Amino acid sequence: MQCLECGSAVANLDNSHLLRCCSLTLQEYAIRHHLPLDLLIDQELLNRTDNPEDYPRPKAYPSEQARAIYRGLKWGGLLQREEAFSIVPGEIRRLDMLLWNLQWLSEYGFLFRQEYRYAEETHRVVAVNRLKVPAAYLALSAEAHLSPVPPPDFLLSLAVLVAHIGELQAGYLFLQLPGRAAGETIMAEACRHGIEFRELDAADQSDGLLLRTLTRSDTQHLLALIKDDLMEIPCAMERFDRKTPEVTVSKELIFDAAHFITDHPAKCSNLHGGRYLLHVKVRDRIDPVTGCVVDYGYLKWVANRRVIDRFDHHNLNYATSELAWRSSTEMLCVFIWEQLIEYLPGLVELQLYETTQSWCKYSGPTLEAFQQSGSDSLLTHFVDGKLGASQLRDLIREKTPTLEIIAKSQS
């Protein structure tokens, strides 16, 4: 086989040759030359079993730097168990970040592995990049490794967390955490540094926590606070400051619902139903790490949770007080916008079709503007505490009978 990098003929094209030849791994080589791994991989490397005895013994007392990085990865759910091993998964796009972790986690006995498997569901050979260590090693010197007392450098742990799982949407930082305890710790510590997070009920695990910086200034403050640490982590800062093209993505959703229009002069005042078609559009820069503006799965989950589940096969007028008076497509769009903007700060447009001939397009306030102004008064008329305060109500209010006392004249 000829190496397309150095031109030499080799018996087996593997990491041993490629790292000497061009400093690429086999998976990077396959991507660069758009070749399937099936044509490159030595069959002996497929589904190879790892032996725990091949791993070096850990240090008795890992450094504070190593412990801080370990904790940040653990917060993000990136320390996972697989049979006899603990692993830290990585992505080929950010291989250098995984190797940066390795230079510190080697103190625990971790090694880098690029493993190759035949995936039956995709009918092809796939590569997985991870750091691995025998799980028993992490149980050694538990007081040193897994001490409940956090390392002194909270900001380094936070930087590691943000570098690995932080997602930026329209200037707001999102952190999807697998455990509530870690999220509460992060919120409390960040608050001491003047940074506020908001918890959103869109965690992807039952006991997890989704955090979003409260304001754009909180995001800026946080990134400035951990910038020096982020600069040390390969591929970290590009996710937050690299200029990439802006793209609008759209998700189509459907719900069936009935409604009526109060005081409508025509037949729309009658209860009637139909199928609504909703397009949710989000615009932002392409994340250089994911290659996406926003994950379609997250977009769909939020829209279903916040909108579709509330409206589908319901009477819109009774689904929420904001629509009890008028459940027109226009009012629906304003309401839907307010349900989504906290979760999708890059939201730029909604299109709602009541029929193929009747539809509404709406662009509402940014999250920052919504935080300042609150819910649109169109939606709050009937829940406003001032409703009914007019003196004109005296004209229709029944008057309380007055008791007249007539003094009896004494003869």
**Helix, strand, coil percent content, the chain, rounded in steps of 5:** 40, 25, 40
- Among candidates 334, 332, 374, which has minimal Cα distance to 353? 332
Distance separating alpha carbons of residues 223 and 217, to the nearest angstrom: 10
Residue 215 per-residue DSSP state: S
Distance separating alpha carbons of residues 214 and 92, to the nearest angstrom: 32
Spot the catalytic one: 232, 268, 330, 381.
Answer: 268
Q: Residue 187, CB half-sphere, CA atoms under 13 Å: how many?
A: 20
Tokens of 364: 């509402």
Q: Tell me how far CA of residue 90 lies from CA of 98, 128, 165, 188, in angstroms.
A: 6, 8, 11, 28
Distance separating alpha carbons of residues 215 and 159, to the nearest angstrom: 19
Distance separating alpha carbons of residues 337 and 306, to the nearest angstrom: 10
Q: Tell me how far CA of residue 247 lies from CA of 151, 238, 346, 348, in angstroms.
A: 41, 18, 11, 11
Residue 402 belongs to what H/E stretch?
Answer: none
The partner residues of 347 in beta bridges, in order of sequence, read: 282
Tell me if residue 268 is catalytic.
yes
Spot the catalytic one: 115, 196, 349, 354.
Answer: 354
Q: Is the dihedral of CA 193, 196, 199, 202 positive or negative?
A: negative
Tell me if residue 313 is catalytic.
yes
Contact by Cβ (8 Å): 346, 284 = yes
Contact by Cβ (8 Å): 150, 179 = no
Which amino acid is it at 150?
P
Spot the catalytic one: 33, 193, 313, 381.
Answer: 313
Tell me if residue 338 is catalytic.
no
15-18: list long-range contacts, CB under 8 Å, 24+ apart. 15/114
Residues labelled catalytic: 268, 313, 354
